[in-house]
Amino acid sequence: MSKPGFRSRVAHRGAVCAAALALPVALAACSGGSGATAGDVLTTSQAPCPRITILADGADLTQYLPGSVPDLTTMVLDARISGFDAVCDYASRNRRELDVRVTPRFQVERGPAARGGSLEMPWFIALSDAADTDVLERNVYVARATPASNQTRVNTTGQAARLRLPIGDGVSAANYVVRISFQLTPDQLAQNRRRGPR
């Protein structure tokens, strides 16, 4: 692969809006909301990023002990996607492909029922077309946070998710939408919808 000639960086500081998705295809359990793009362009270049958002319904994750009544005493962790960093490069000198690297940021609170040092948070990134009619790619990851023994809250980042987008012939970064969300169970999704964005 040729050395990319241009790069842009976007930092999102966690503002999440609740706009309805048009996607008829379920994005895991999360198909309800999308964050508006609120990135700050840190470097002006000719390698634009696609629209990258945080799903409002999937921005929070609260885990409880399996089989227990959900309350404070049975809470294992409470986490939110606080933002992300994105870097976009042309994959080659002919600018026919765009490499997108997205790194999510998390705020995590360890609950009274947590056991062991490491807390695990499944999350995913999904790529769709601009019309939100098709999910083109979807990848699932697990982020881990390890608070110190005297800590209950910690900030951490997930691994960088990488996407390659075909462009050219009338197709640009604007023809794609990238969304970040926790991988939620139906019960977790229902809880998020009841309490709304935090």
- Whether residue 157 is contained in a domain is answered as yes
- Is 79 within the bounds of a domain? yes
Q: pTM of the full predicted structure?
A: 0.77
Phi and psi of 125, rounded to 5°? -125, 135
CA distances from 186 to 13, 21, 123, 154 (A): 27, 18, 14, 26
Q: Report which of 84, 100, 137 is spatially closest to residue 4, judged by C-alpha positions.
A: 100
Assess if residue 1 is contained within a domain.
no
Number of separate helices (H) and strands (E) present in the chain: 1, 13
Indicate if the pLDDT at residue 55 is higher than 60: yes
Q: pLDDT digits over 13-46, tens only?
A: 543 333 333 343 334 333 333 343 333 333 334 5
- Indicate whether 100 belongs to any domain: yes
Determine, yes or no, domain membership for 161: yes
Q: What is the DSSP string of 55-106?
A: -GGGSEEEEE-TTS--SGGGEEEEEEEEEEEEEEEESSTT--EEEEEEEEEE
In a domain, residue 179? The reply is yes
**Position 48, amino acid:** P
- Give how many domains the chain has, as a whole number: 1
Q: What is the mean pLDDT of the chain?
A: 81
Determine the structural domain holding residue 160 and report its residue range: 7-195
The answer to the question of residue 150 being in a domain is: yes
What pLDDT does 9 receive?
Answer: 61
d(CA 31, CA 21): 7
| Region at 95 (left for phi over 0; alpha for psi -120 to 50; beta for the rest) | left
Give the least confident one: 10-24, 135-149, 154-168, 184-198. Answer: 10-24
Q: Quick one: which H or E segment has residue 193?
A: helix 186-195
Confidence at residue 30, expressed as pLDDT on a 0 to 100 scale: 35
- pLDDT one-digit tens code per residue, 69-128: 999 999 999 999 999 999 999 998 889 999 999 999 999 999 999 988 899 999 999 999
Residue 39 lies in a domain: yes
